[in-house]
Structure 1
Amino acid sequence: MKRTLIVLMAATMATSCNQPGETGVSETSVAAAVESFREVMLHPDQAVFEELLDESLTYGHSNGLIENQKTCIASMVSGKFKFTSLEFSAQTVDVVGNTAIVRHELFGHTHDAGKEPGIAKLKVLMVWVQNEGKLRLVARQAVKI
């Protein structure tokens, strides 16, 4: 419960980090949203995922699997895809109006349901859109390094 509250607070901060009077998205708010997403991938919580992932999400895995919001959340919450550690590095954020394009490298240890522990090394592209004051992930694609 404590982690859920912390992640929800970070998600809330991610949607309110713009300076007063700003109408666009700030790099600070995007970085906070990405960090909230990294945290919820480590400690899956359906409510937090629903706050961060847009209903129109298209989520591309490095193995070619494409998921929507519902299937992505179910996969993470059920343990189908599970990270035991997760680091993002070399992150760049490009803001265009209410949209942010984020690229980073992902390194993590995995232990997906029914599989042996593994390692993930990926390059990731994310697209975040601010709508009604909230940043939400609308697209994500990963490729193996």
Structure 2
Amino acid sequence: MKTFYSLITLVGLVACNPQGQEGASTIERTVEAFRQALVDADTAALERLTAASLSYGHSSGIVESKEEFIRTLATGASNFLSIRLSDQQITTSGDVAIVRHQLEAETADAGKDPATIRLQVMTVWQRADGQWKLLARQAVR
């Protein structure tokens, strides 16, 4: 019986761990900063928020490196007028976080009529030097 109560106490401590809550809060803030950097086409922020080995997958099947991804936004080939995220779920394991959400955006990509897109997105973030960096992203319609 004593072991049972010890186990219940341990589970309660883990569930209420402020470090875990702080970690989720930190990744939420990072995802929001990334969302805003996409809308602003803020290349300096995108540089800071993405890993050197970024694999950025679009719903069209195109996969870009970090350099290609940032260049596409900087040139206006990909242009987000607004982005709204919903139904966000965050799972962390050590220095890795998986974030899933629905993305609804207004776009005005170069050479195309303005459009509204709705996607399911999964991003993988890695904590390096105290900061979350986007390592991979994949979107599907």
State TM-score, norm by structure 1: 0.82
Higher relative contact order, chain-length normalized (CA < 8 Å, sep 6+)? 1
* Residue of structure 1 in register with 2:30 after alignment: 33
Letter of the 2:140 counterpart: V
- 2:45 matches 1:71: no
1:73-131 superposed Cα distances (whole Å, 9 cap, x missing partner) = 00011111111111000000001001000000000110000110011100000000001
Distance 1:32 1:141 in 2: 20
User: How many corresponding residue pairs?
Assistant: 123
Can you give the 5+ residue segments of structure 2 that lack an aligned partner in the other structure? 1-17
Alignment of 1:34-49 (within 5 A): 34-49=31-46
Q: Distance in 2 between matches of 1:34 and 1:76?
A: 17
Q: Are residues 1:110 and 2:107 paired?
A: yes
Q: Give the structure 2 partner of residue 135 of structure 1.
A: 132
Once residues 120 and 82 of structure 1 are traced to their aligned partners in structure 2, the CA distance between those partners, rounded to angstroms, is 12
- Relative to the length of structure 2, the TM-score reads 0.84
Identity %: 37
Q: Which amino acid in the other structure matches residue 53 of structure 1?
A: T
* Aligned-partner Cα distance in 2 for 1:110–1:76: 11
Q: Which has the larger radius of gyration?
A: 2
Identify, as 1 or 2, the structure richer in helix. Answer: 2
